[in-house]
Amino acid sequence: MKPVNILVIDDERVICDACHLILSEKGHTVERQLSGKSGLEALESEQYDVVLLDMMLPDMDGMNVLKMIKKERPEVCIIVMTGYSTVSNAVKAMKLGALDFLAKPFTDDELVAAIERVCSDGG
């Protein structure tokens, strides 16, 4: 697939770094943000194809961040990541416009597959 521009929003630095490492190796550009607020700010100044969004952020509720991204940048593909995965959580995130759902912990292959899936679905 062609390289895409990805933003990772997760307060866990290790996860941001891991996603950065794995996705950069696939040729994608990856930026990391550790809070909901800084993530939204990054979205204002830069055009992203995919956002990997953690649902539990220290400063904002992940669902709210999701809503705000969809409002400001409806074209961005959003993949939700969560450590507390329930079916109802996933359904709620999908209803709000997320395209995929990664339950932590996940492997590099699952991560790469999710990115490929949303990019091909998104056209």
Partner 1 sequence: MESSDIFKNYFGVFRDIIRMMHSTNSLEEVLNLGVRRTSKVLNAKGALVRLLNKTTHQLEVRAAWGMDKRYLSKGPVSSDKLLPWDKGGKKIHIISDILNAPQVAYPQHAWDQGIRMMLDIPLIVNSQVIGLMRIYLTEPRQFLDDELDFMITVAEQFACVIERLRLMENQKAHYNHLALHMEKMSSLGRMAAGIAHEINNPLAGILLYSSSLIKKVPPESPLEEGLQIIMSETQRCKVIIQGLLEFSRDQEPQKAPANVNDILDKALTILNNEFYIHHIRIDEDLENNLPLTLLDENQIEQVLINILLNAAHAIEKDGIISIKTRMDIEHAKLSIEIADNGCGISVKEIGKIFDPFFSTKPSGTGLGLALSYGIIKNHQGDIRVESQSGKGSCFIIDLPILPSDLQKKEGSGDLK
Residue 41 C-alpha from the chain's centroid: 15
Q: Please say which residue, 60 or 73, places its beta carbon nearer to partner 1.
A: 60
Q: How far apart are CA 87 and CA 73, in angstroms?
A: 26
The structure tokens 């929003």 sit at: 9
Which of 2, 14, 47, 74 touches partner 1 (CB under 8 A)? 14
The side-by-side arrangement of strands in the sheet containing 5-9 is 29-33, 5-9, 50-54, 77-82, 100-103
Is the distance from CB of 94 to CB of 82 less than 8 angstroms? no
Least distance (Å) between residue 107 CB and partner 1? 4
Rank residues 47 and 84 by Cβ distance to partner 1 and give the closer one. 84
In the region spanning residues 21 to 80, those forming contacts with partner 1, defined by CB under 8 A, are 21-22, 25, 56
Binding site for partner 1 (CB under 8 A): 12, 14-15, 18-19, 21-22, 25, 56, 81, 83-86, 103-109, 111
